Amino acid sequence: MSEFTAKKEEIIAVPGEETASVSMEESSADSSSSSKQDVRPARGRRGAPQRGRGGTRRTPRGGRDGARSEFDQKLIGIRRVARVMAGGRRFNFSVAMVLGDKKGRVGVGLGKASDTALAIEKAMRDAKRNMLTLELTKSNSIKHDVEAKYCASVVAIRPSSGSGLVAGSSVRAVLELGGVTDVTAKLLSRSKNAINNARAAVEALRKISKRPTASTNK
């Protein structure tokens, strides 16, 4: 019996202090529990890491990507089209968009896809591909009269100092996102197609662009 108790307990003697009897099993259990507590990381409310004065944010202010596009956009037409196939109808979306920075750059794009978001993305890429850089005056007006035709749409744009932007339909969206002011635009045709009217306005502005490219008249 004495041998068993001798193995179970040890006598720790420290000179100048009282002796203490320590159980080996209890000391091992205490050491294991303390090690587990040390390994566990400190956590704040709702399980999120604590953030003090020197903490950093996960995402910067201004959105998930933290960057904002330099162009403003405006939808001028969205429609759903159906194609009759052998297995039934297949629906797609067609989106027309005007893209510009209001500083002399503007473009019109068209995108088609089975999803609306994908069609908008394609229209944005098409508008960037067909972007024009305009030569404007100091008052953001045009130097002379311009006129163009696209399909059945005919648009005339004339400078008019002090009148602001006088235009309607999708032509106004093209001029507004292009940063053009003090002009008067007029539709010389009876076409009510917003996409064709916008493309006619772009063809008219192409005549005062810095780098005129091949026209897309039809």
CATH class of segment(s) 72-132:
alpha beta
Q: Pairing state of beta strands 20-23 and 9-12? A: antiparallel
Look at residue 207 and give its three-state secondary structure.
helix
Structurally, what CATH architecture does the domain formed by 134-208 represent? 2-Layer Sandwich (3.30)
Q: What is the dihedral of CA 117, 120, 121, 122, to 10 degrees?
A: 120
* pLDDT tens digits, 190-213: 999 999 999 999 999 999 998 655
Q: What residue spans define the domains of the chain?
A: 72-132, 134-208
Tokens of 90: 């297949």
Q: 135 near 208, Cβ under 8 Å?
A: yes
Q: What is the pLDDT of residues 168-181, one digit of tens each?
A: 889 999 999 999 99
pTM of the model as a whole: 0.64
Q: For residue range 62-86, list pLDDT tens digits in order.
A: 444 433 578 999 999 999 989 898 8
